[in-house]
Amino acid sequence: MIAKSTVKEIQVYRNSASVIRTGEVALKEGRNIIYVGGMTLTSKQEDFVLSFPENVRAANIQIIKIDDIDDFGERESEKIQKKIDEIDYQIETDKLLMELRKTNGDFSKRTDVSVEAQEQYMVALPARLLELHKQIGELEEQREKLVEEQVDAVKEESKPLIMAEIFAEAEGTVPFMLRYQEASARWKPKYEVRYKSSEEPLEVSMKAQITQNSDEDWKRVKVTLYSGNPAVFHGLPELDPVHVSIYVDPPVYRGRAKGAAGGARMCESAMMDEEVCDEAVFEAEDNGAPKLAMASLKMEEAQVEEEETMSAFILPDLKDILNGTDGNIVVLQSFKVPANYQLLSIPRVDTKSFLTAEINEADWPLPAAYASVYIKDLFAGDIYVDPDTDVDKFSLSLGQDERITVVRTELPRKTQEALLKNQRKQVRSSRIRLVNNSKETVKVLLKDQIPVSTDKAVTVDVLNLSDGVLNDEKGEVSWTLSAEPQNAIELELSYSVAWPKDKRLSERTVR
């Protein structure tokens, strides 16, 4: 007999879970051989702990399969198969009876049956056939349920068993606890970032998506989430030798900066009219029913405890963690993050502008994860938040902002040749016009660029930056502007490029 157990508690790590099951088993005084079920095919079979009361001691514990038990007796799947065979026989019998009654109802070649008897038989025949038809339908429903039970039984019989040779001081029923590591379970963070106004901090809600594919449902269980993984061992640190040599420039590669996601997709604009973006309100019906103010559904947050090596999020109430779903969503904690808001515009690359939030890295002590952005309760899109621990601040994109219009115009290039220096010189200029279409002052970070020379024969000279700040290494020119309502700002950027006139100028964008 297999001692069954029930899942009572789940401790979920980022890439696995500890499953705690409890059950009871009847023991006789002295030596007992018991078989404990509950471990799954996706469990780490080498990592389990079987616990009994102190008056029970173990002599031998090992993982086996049901096929390894010689005197196990009849399996549950075999018992169910017998019931299925009995139902199949009943269905076959009822079908034969139906055909027999139909055949007996043919009196065309029989002269030994009176007309009254034939009429009586034919009147009763439909009711008898209907009764048999219903009986066959009920039997087929029973058979379908038994087949499902048999499939589950076969799955259970394929799972590993724990064989324990234990000794009890007295006869009786005792509790036991089984703990093992489930490899198919995990959780990942997901954020909700809400922007209310430029005068308020960001509201951040940290949620967790829990998934498991153990082939069983965990219902009404206590759930604790941990921020790390158990027993992750990478060896002790060692000092490696450091070699010093002449530095050779590697190929230049510029990847996307961490924390600065591209513009999140918005349904319309990041800054909508307040009556549109405020909390949703059901308008009154024609019958004059009053308006009903609606607010976001609030979930109770987790209790946060700091363990020695990781954080623990103890979820309130008992949860159902179902097998094979997209995941349970739970709220871990909510907090507010101070941010410096401004619009980012790079018209050389994109004519759209984006609302950004500059955040101190110390104010966001959370792991990298995707975040859903909401502007005054209006969904603005998804971004990936990856604060770089090597910088003090990072930026988040909060979506496209239509409060300003930026137009960049390339002016005609002027090229001339210097005979004495044997050079060709080209003057390049562009004009940028920025208009604030809103009713409030907007802070704008505007960026453009000039090329950077990587060859001594090519020189780049700045002619006009309109008080912009130049990053010599990147060639990036930036302006921090305060755009007044319904006002226009015009900037001009110009520079010259000189190179040997017998050479061709090569320009390429490094990504």
Q: What is the pLDDT along the chain (511 residues), one digit of tens a residue?
A: 688 899 999 999 989 999 999 999 999 999 999 999 889 999 998 889 999 998 899 888 989 888 888 777 788 899 999 999 999 999 999 999 988 888 887 777 777 777 788 788 888 888 889 999 999 999 999 999 999 999 988 888 888 999 999 999 999 999 999 999 999 999 998 889 999 888 899 999 888 999 999 999 999 999 999 987 765 444 555 555 544 333 455 554 443 333 433 433 333 333 333 333 333 333 434 455 555 555 555 667 888 887 767 888 899 989 999 998 887 888 888 889 999 988 999 998 888 888 989 898 888 877 788 888 888 888 888 888 887 666 788 888 888 888 889 999 999 988 887 665 788 888 999 999 999 988 888 999 999 999 888 888 888 899 999 999 999 888 899 999 999 998 899 999 999 988 888 888 888 877 7
Q: What sign results for the dihedral spanned by CA atoms 18, 24, 30, 34?
A: negative
* pLDDT in the model for residue 312: 87
Question: Could you give phi then psi for residue 202, rounded to 5 degrees?
Answer: -70, 140
Quick one: tokens of 208? 């967790």
Residues 186-218 pLDDT 10s:
999 888 999 988 889 999 988 899 999 999 999
What strand order describes the sheet that includes 2-3? 2-3, 30-36, 161-168, 56-64
Distance of CA 50 to the CA centre of its chain: 33
Buried b or exposed e, range 212-248, using 16+ CB within 10 angstroms: bebebebeebebbbbbeeeeeeeeeeeeeeeeeeeee
Judge whether 2-65+160-182 and 404-500 match in fold. yes
Residue-range domain boundaries for the chain: 2-65+160-182, 76-157, 186-230+270-401, 404-500
Torsions phi, psi for 91 (to 5 deg): -65, -45
CATH code, 2-65+160-182 = 2.60.40
3-state secondary structure of 210: strand
CB atoms within 10 A of CB 368: 13
**pTM for this predicted structure:** 0.66
Q: What is the pLDDT of residue 420?
A: 59
- pLDDT value at residue 23: 94
- Please tell me the distance from the alpha carbon of residue 377 to that of residue 267, in angstroms, as a whole number: 12
For residue 252, the model assigns a pLDDT of 46
Buried b (16+ CB within 10 A) or exposed e, 291-328: eeeeeeeeeebbeeeeeeeeebbebeeebebbeeeebb
The DSSP letter of residue 468 is P
In the chain, the amino acid numbered 431 is R
| Structure tokens given for 362 | 């110390």
Identify the pLDDT of residue 309.
72
Q: What is the CATH number of domain 404-500?
A: 2.60.40
Cα–Cα distance between 123 and 106 in angstroms, integer?
13
Residue 22 makes CB contacts below 8 A (sequence gap 6+) with 5, 6, 8, 175, 176, 177, 178
Give all strands (DSSP E) within 386-466, no chain letters: 393-401, 404-410, 414-418, 423-436, 442-449, 459-464
